[in-house]
Chain A
Amino acid sequence: MKKRLLVCDDEEPIRLLLTESLQDIYDIVEASNGKDALSLALREHFDLIIMDIKMPQVHGLEAIERIREKDKRIPIVIISAYRPMEDDIIVKTSNVAAFITKPIDISALRAKIFELIGE
């Protein structure tokens, strides 16, 4: 059985890109905002979460904190147009497994996810 990934980005082309890039190995569930991502993550089981930061309703960083309250172990990969130290986007690295800046190198992303959860 394929491992399940939650992909959360408010940009529809990015979600599509991630799905197209990863769906050959993993089951992908998409969420278009932080709120949906949070409720999905709290309700269902995922092996890894890919999360954008700047999102409507619930900000990516807030969603991560809320998920961490319940699940300390699930690997979370951030994909963001910002750099980790840019502006107020200072990420608690202990909370996330990887921080990948946009634009994304798809092979590198696949390798990182494979490293974290395998196939």
Chain B
Amino acid sequence: MMTYSKRGLNIASPGYLVALLYFISNIIFYFIPETKFSRPVVTFAIFLTDVIAISLAIYLAQGMQTDFYLIYFLIIFIASVGQDLRGSIPIAIVASILYGWLLLRANPGISILDSAILIRIPFIFIVSIISSYWSTEIRRELTEKKELENFAHRLEQEIARMTAEEIDLKSYHDTVINSVASGVIAVSSDGVITTINPEAARVLGTSRSALMGKNIKDIDGLEPMWQKMQEVIASSTPSDRVQVAIKNAHNETIPVGLSVSPMSSLNHSISGCVGILRDLSDIKALEERLRHAERLSYLGKMASWVAHEIRNPLTAIDGFSQLLAKTREPDKIKAFSVEIHRGTKRINHIIDDILTFARTKTHIKADDIDLRQLMTQITENMGNVRIFISGDVNTRIKGEEESLKSLFNNLISNSIDAMDKDPKLTIKFCRKDQWLVTEMADNGRGMSAENIKKLFTPFFTTKSRGTGLGLAIVKKIVDDHGGKLEIESEEGKGTTCRVYLPAGDK
């Protein structure tokens, strides 16, 4: 282009040299990696070079008749596309200065109002501004589109990652729930089974798939479970562990330990509940066997005890009646009769003890009793035992007189049996909160820790004449009256019993 002139193509002309240099530089640029052009300084330098090259071409084209100036627009357009307004305006300025200078130089007398100046130079700026604006717009749109695409891509990735995580978490939770040795069953608030683990399905005698999605209300035999679940959903508080009997799919009754907790959804409303079940069949069977064995052993002990306790007075009655038949001495007849009477009384007493011990009634008669007076009656004629009764509070209580007599009789005779020399028994009454406490302290032999443990065991005795029922009866009477009993003892020092009975009104 630049070598073109009115004189034709001339290889030696400077125009040709400029064009050649320009061409070579473009080839070099071609091999320079694109990234090198990203710096605005480099692109600016390139466009500047272009502008200078065009100006040089116009200059060499000898005059302003050439249309080479149009190439300015092209370069400015490209500069605008490649950069923005900040990049294209300096190029436009440089181009207009150079072109203006060329115009002035070619036409020294040119007026500023000449169309060449008045139209072309502002046009350079207009092109620069419009194309910059346009290219910026396009670039922005492109960038936005790209960002949007990037965003969509990131969103997709994130969703995929979260889905994978959720799947992981769900399978992890499933594994945890399925591995629990207890049965886990979750239901929605209207009773639809949403989760059930293999153990729960086993307890219910069927498969998980048969239960999932079913309404627990529609399953026969699970009514007690659903009832408990409804209570928990209604109150939204977890239940204590309860025992319920459910029927499994084979219509067998299964004792189940059940605890239910409410399940709340994200907005904290109750969305259902989760029940933990424990199959108690084995434990129940074991307990039943144990109880049976205990009952048998107990029965055996009881029978043995009764046999022993009754056979002794029976021996006396039987023996003395045999002797009675043979004797004629009035003194002996009297003595043997007394012994027979004693024996029958003894047997009667034993029967009383057994009945007291074995009675199951929980309500007691409410005689109005003055404990202090009762105690004085009991302790009369206690031989050489010194008995001190103290405490001056109101000692009236509501209770069963015969039972209480038996209670204190047993405790006092235990104390007396335990005391060897200088026997001394102190009985004190005092009021403590809602209790009337009767404290009895002796200075007897006391008991070993081991014996204290066995104290209330029926048929346990350390005494020769003991039935082994005394303290078991004491305990029973105290329990029947809603009271409590404390026993402290030290071997060689003595024993202190405290009987707490509910105090009457003052």
Q: Name A residues whose Cβ lies closer than 8 Å to a Cβ of B.
A: 10-11, 13-14, 16-17, 20-21, 33, 54-57, 81-82, 86-87, 101-107
In the bound complex, residues from chain B placing their C-beta under 8 Å from that of A14 are 312, 315-316, 319
Instruction: State which of A10, A17, A33, A86 has its C-beta within 8 Å of the C-beta of B316.
Output: A17
Q: Which residues of B contact A17 (CB under 8 A)?
A: 315-316, 319-320, 323, 339
Q: Interface residues, chain B, CB within 8 Å of chain A?
A: 300, 304, 307-309, 311-320, 322-323, 332, 336, 339, 342-343, 462-465
Q: How far is the CA of A106 from the CA of B332 in the complex (A)?
A: 16
Q: In the complex, A103 Cα to B309 Cα: how many Å?
A: 12
Identify the interface centre among A10, A21, A57, A103: most chain B CB within 10 Å of its CB: A103
| Whole-angstrom distance between the Cβ of B311 and the nearest chain A Cβ | 4
- A10, A104, A107: which contacts B315 (Cβ < 8 A)? A104
Do B342 and A13 touch (CB < 8 A)?
Answer: yes
Q: How far is the CB of A109 from chain B (nearest CB, A)?
A: 9
Give CA–CA (A11, B311) in the complex, Å: 11
Smallest CB gap from B304: residue in A = A87
Within 8 Å CB of A106, what residues of B? 319, 322-323
Query: Which residue from A21, A81, A105, A107 sits with its C-beta under 8 Å from B307?
Result: A81
Residues of chain A with a CB closer than 8 A to B320's CB: 13, 17, 20
- Kindly identify which residue among A56, A81, A103 contacts B318, using a CB–CB cutoff of 8 Å: A103
Q: A13-B339, A82-B307, A86-B304 are in contact. Are A104 and B312 (CB under 8 A)?
A: no
Question: In the docked arrangement, what's the CA distance between A63 and B317, Å?
Answer: 27
Shortest distance from the beta carbon of B299 to any chain A beta carbon, whole Å: 13
Name which residue of chain B comes closest to A17, CB basis: B319
Secondary structure of the B contact surface, majority rule: helix
Do B322 and A10 have beta carbons less than 8 Å apart? no
A42 to B238: give the CA distance in the assembly, Å.
74
Known: A20-B323, A56-B464, A106-B322. A81 touches B311 (CB 8 A): yes
Are A16 and B322 in contact, with the CB atoms below 8 A?
no
Q: How far is the CA of A54 from the CA of B463 in the complex (A)?
A: 10
Enumerate chain A residues within 8 angstroms of B332, measured Cβ to Cβ: 20
Min C-beta distance of B71 to chain A, whole Å = 129
- Give every chain A residue within 8 A of B336 (Cβ-Cβ): 20
**Looking across the interface, which residue of chain B has its beta carbon closest to that of A106?**
B322
Question: CA A73 – CA B463 in complex, angstroms?
Answer: 32
Q: Which residue of chain A has the shortest Cβ distance to B314 in the bound complex?
A: A103
By beta carbon, the residue of chain B nearest A9 is B312
A52: nearest chain-B partner, CB-CB: B312
Q: Identify 7 residue pairs between A and B in the complex whose beta-carbon atoms are under 8 Å apart, listed by A's number.
A: A11-B465, A13-B342, A20-B323, A81-B307, A102-B315, A104-B318, A105-B322
A30 to B315, CA, bound (A): 17
Of B311, B343, B464, the contact of A55 (CB 8 Å cutoff): B464
CB <8 Å contact, B312 and A11: yes
Chain B residues near A105 (CB-CB < 8 A): 322
Are B308 and A10 in touch, CB under 8 angstroms? no
Q: Are A13 and B343 in contact (CB under 8 A)?
A: yes
User: Given the complex, which residues of B lie within 8 Å of A104, measured CB to CB?
Assistant: 315, 318-319
| With contact pairs A10-B464, A56-B463 given, residues A103 and B311 touching in the complex (Cβ less than 8 Å) | yes
A54 to chain B, nearest CB (A): 7
Least distance between A106 CB and chain B CB atoms (Å): 5
Once the chains are docked, how many angstroms separate the CA of A46 from the CA of B312? 25
Further pairs besides A101-B311, A104-B315: 8, Cβ < 8 Å: A11-B312, A14-B312, A16-B339, A54-B308, A55-B464, A56-B463, A56-B464, A103-B318
Closest to B340 in A: A13
Which residue in chain A gives the minimum CB-CB distance to B338?
A13
A87 to B307, CA, bound (A): 12
Task: Please tell me if the beta carbons of B319 and A82 are within 8 angstroms of each other in the complex.
Answer: no
CB pair A10–B465 under 8 Å, yes or no, is yes
A56 to B317, CA, bound (A): 23
Give Cα A56–Cα B304 distance, bound, in whole angstroms.
Answer: 18
> Which B residues lie within 8 Å of A87 (CB)?
300, 304
With the chains together, A12 CA to B395 CA distance in Å? 38
Q: How far is the CA of A71 from the CA of B338 in the complex (A)?
A: 38
State A113–B342 Cα separation when bound (angstroms). Answer: 28
A103 near B464 with CB under 8 A, answer no
Max count, chain A CB within 10 A of own CB: residue among B317, B320, B336:
B320
Find chain B residues with CB under 8 A from A101 CB. Answer: 311
Chain B residue numbers with a CB within 8 Å of A13 are 312-313, 316, 320, 339, 342-343
CB distance from A3 to the nearest CB of B (A): 21
Establish whether residues A81 and B308, one from each chain, have CB atoms under 8 Å apart when the complex forms.
yes
Closest beta carbon of chain B to A21's beta carbon, Å: 6
CA gap between A85 and B311 in the complex, in Å: 16
Q: Compute how far the CA of A68 lies from the CA of B349 in the bound complex, rounded to whole angstroms.
A: 38
